[in-house]
């Protein structure tokens, strides 16, 4: 009888409250407030205090979770505002360059203005696409960026040399970080600018493909007969372009592969997977 009475007392004072508390804690998820299990007056005071401690802890965690959510929303709003201002400023700069280009009467100066505008427009395209994809946080669509830059380059080549620049694009469905998309856009604009400056017709091939042997990597290739060493009229322009491309490759933490005989440039870049 003593054993039975002791078992009932232990079950009432300890086992039942502990089982109810364990069940409540087992279903806990961050942000949820634990409700202290109902205990009888005869339940152990220590278990009731432990239950209240869990309740207070979950309440504090839920409050901090709400504060973090509000802070994240404020940060996202500020980030969107910054990108919006940068996007607008780049558009203003491009418009100002265009106004000066239209006002100049010197062909050399006009070509210089167009060359600068091509680079500004390339960065503006990256910023605009990044701003559009900011909510999804999936990076910048390389295909959309390259195609938009190519369309702008075709128009610019037609204006500068009164001839179309044939540009062929092959691009997988790739997403890039902003700090990768910007150098890629500058590389494309830089080589296209060098090709446009040649007094001959030709084609520029742009390829961005996933690398099967290197997950999380893609290979960017820009190739044109106009970029061959034998085709480039100005050695100074070629050297300047090479220095710019080497700098962009260092920014991407990769090496620039250049074949002067075929006019081929290639880099391996990280992608979002």
Residues 6+ apart with CB under 8 A from 208: 142, 143, 146, 170, 171, 172, 174, 184, 218, 219, 220, 221
**CA 271 to CA 273: how far, in whole Å?**
6
Classify residue 256 as exposed, middle or buried by CB count within 10 Å of its CB (0-12, 13-18, 19+). Answer: middle
Burial of 190: CB neighbours in 10 Å, binned 0-12, 13-18, 19+? buried
The pTM of the full predicted model, rounded to 2 decimals, is: 0.70
pLDDT digits (tens, 9 = 90+) for 144-178: 999 999 988 888 888 877 777 788 999 999 999 98
Pairing of strands 217-223, 203-210: antiparallel
Largest interatomic CA distance in the chain:
113
For residue range 6-61, what is the model confidence (pLDDT) as tens digits?
Answer: 776 666 666 666 776 677 776 767 767 766 666 555 556 666 677 777 777 777 88
Q: With H, G, I as helix, E, B as strand and everything else as coil, classify residue 104.
A: coil
CA angle 246, 96, 117 (to 5 degrees): 30
């Amino acid at each position: 009888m003593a054993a039975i009475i002791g078992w009932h007392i232990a079950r009432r004072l300890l086992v039942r409250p502990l089982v109810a508390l364990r069940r409540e804690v087992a279903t806990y998820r961050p942000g949820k407030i634990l409700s202290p299990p109902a205990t009888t007056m005869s339940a152990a005071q220590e278990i009731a205090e432990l239950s209240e401690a869990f309740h207070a802890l979950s309440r504090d965690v839920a409050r901090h979770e709400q504060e973090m959510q509000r802070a994240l929303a404020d940060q996202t709003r500020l980030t969107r505002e910054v990108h919006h201002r940068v996007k607008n400023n780049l558009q203003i700069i491009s418009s100002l360059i265009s106004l000066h280009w239209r006002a100049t009467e010197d062909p050399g100066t006009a070509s210089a203005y167009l060359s600068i505008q091509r680079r500004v427009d390339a960065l503006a395209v990256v910023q605009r696409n990044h701003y559009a994809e900011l909510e999804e946080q999936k990076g910048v669509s390389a295909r959309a960026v390259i195609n938009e830059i190519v369309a702008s380059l075709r128009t610019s080549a037609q204006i500068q040399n009164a001839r179309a620049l044939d540009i062929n694009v092959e691009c997988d469905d790739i997403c890039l970080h902003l700090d990768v998309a910007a150098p890629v856009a500058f590389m494309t604009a830089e080589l296209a600018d060098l090709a446009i400056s040649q007094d001959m017709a030709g084609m520029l091939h742009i390829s961005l493909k996933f690398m099967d042997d290197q997950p999380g990597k893609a290979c960017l290739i820009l190739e044109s007969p106009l970029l061959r060493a034998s085709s480039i009229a100005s050695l100074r322009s070629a050297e300047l372009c090479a220095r710019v491309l080497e700098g962009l490759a260092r920014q991407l933490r990769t090496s620039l592969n250049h074949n002067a005989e075929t006019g081929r440039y290639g880099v391996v870049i990280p992608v979002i997977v």
